[in-house]
Amino acid sequence: MPRNLVNNNQHNSDCVGLSQFSLVGRVAIVTGASSGLGVQISRALSEAGADVILAARRKEKLANAAEELNCKFVVCDVSTTDGRKFLIDEVINLHGKIDILINNAGTSSTMPAENESEEGFRAVLETNLLAPFELSKMAAHYMLPQGSGSIINIASVLGLVGNLRIPDAAYSSSKGGLINLTRELAAQWSSRGVRVNAVAPGYFESEMTATMFDNNKSIDWIARHDPMGRPGRPGELNGAVIFLASDASSYVTGQVLAVDGGWTSV
C-alpha cells in the first residue's frame, strides 16, 4: 500500500468525531441572508463557530437578522458586478480570508413559458446562476492560495426535476445550470483544496414560496406528492449545510444533496 495512503487513513481515523463539524475560526459568507432559509443557514453556521457575514439588498431586514445572530453584514446586490465585488472586498477587509461561501440568494419568475420575456428570463439567470459563478470565482482567488475552502450552492429540486404545478422555466433552468456549474467547479478546483457542492431543497416555507403556503390546497398538494407527506420544517436544511461546510465532508465534492423528503426519489 502506498505510504501516502497509509498516512491519509491514519489522519482520517484521528479526526473521527463531532469535532469534524466545528467551524470555529472559519469565515463564512451567506448571500440572500435577510430572511427565510438564508437566516436559518446563517444561524446554523454561527452556532457551529463560524464568523458569518450576512449579505443581502434590504438593509433593515439584514441589520435585524445580523443583530439577532450577532453577525456582521454587508448590504449589496449580488446580481450586479459592483455588488459582488463590494461584498468580497468588504469580507477581505474585515477578516482577510474566506473559508466558506454559501450562494443562497435567488429569485423566480413564475409564469407559463410562452409568456416569459427574454428580459425576465435573463434577470433570473443573473441572480441565480451568474452571481454564484462570479462570487465563487472571486472567493476562489483567496481560497485556492490557502489550499482550502468550501463553496455550497443552494439549488433546488426544480433543478433536478420538472414541476407541473409551478410553471417557471427561468428558475428551473437557472437551478439546473447551477447544479452542473457545481460539478464543473468541483472538477477544476478540488485537487487544489477547494470543494464545491450543492444542496437541493424541496418545499420549505420562505418569501419565495409564500404563495405555496398561504392556502390549504397547495399544502395538501405537497403532502400528496412528497413521500414524507409534508414540506420541510425550519432548520431541516441546516445539517446538510454544516456537513458540507465542515471537515465532516472532506472527501465530498461535486455532489448535490437533495433535502426534499424524498421528492426526487419517486
Are 65 and 42 a contacting pair, CB within 8 Å? Answer: yes
Distance between CA 44 and CA 97 in Å, rounded? Answer: 20
- Taking residues 122-134, report their average pLDDT: 97
Going from the C-alpha of 49 to that of each of 19, 25, 176, the distances in angstroms are 11, 7, 32
pLDDT category at 5 given cuts 50, 70, 90 is very low
Q: Is 214 a residue whose pLDDT tops 90? A: no
Taking Cα atoms as reference points, which of 63, 70, 71 lies closest to residue 35? 63
Q: Is 127 helix (H, G, I), strand (E, B) or coil?
A: helix
Distance between CA 31 and CA 38 in Å, rounded? Answer: 7
Q: Is 212 a residue whose pLDDT tops 80? A: no
Q: Is 99 helix (H, G, I), strand (E, B) or coil?
A: coil
226 or 214: which leads in pLDDT? 226
CB-neighbour burial class of residue 159 (10 A; exposed 0-12, middle 13-18, buried 19+): buried
Spans of all domains in the chain: 23-260
**pLDDT tens digits, 135-155:** 999 999 999 999 999 999 999
Mean pLDDT of the chain: 92
Q: What angle do CA 44, 50, 52 make, to 5 degrees?
A: 80
- Taking residues 188-204, report their average pLDDT: 97
208 or 157: which leads in pLDDT? 157
DSSP sequence for 72-98: EEEE--TTSHHHHHHHHHHHHHHHS--
CATH topology of domain 23-260: Rossmann fold (3.40.50)
Sequence letter at residue 223: A
| pLDDT score for 187 | 98
Query: Quick one: CA dihedral 118, 119, 124, 129, positive or negative?
Result: positive
Percent of the chain with pLDDT over 70: 94
Q: Is 194 a residue whose pLDDT tops 90? A: yes
| pLDDT score for 10 | 38
Going from the C-alpha of 34 to that of each of 74, 83, 122, 226, the distances in angstroms are 10, 16, 24, 28
Distance between CA 62 and CA 30 in Å, rounded? Answer: 11
Per the structure block, which three cell numbers stand in for 47? 452556532
pLDDT category at 243 given cuts 50, 70, 90 is very high
Neighbours of 4 (CB within 10 A): 8
What is the side-by-side strand order in the sheet with 256-259? 72-75, 51-56, 27-31, 100-103, 149-154, 194-201, 256-259
| pLDDT score for 210 | 66
pLDDT category at 35 given cuts 50, 70, 90 is very high
The residues with which 154 forms a beta bridge, in sequence order, are 199
Are 236 and 263 a contacting pair, CB within 8 Å? Answer: no
Positions marked catalytic: 171
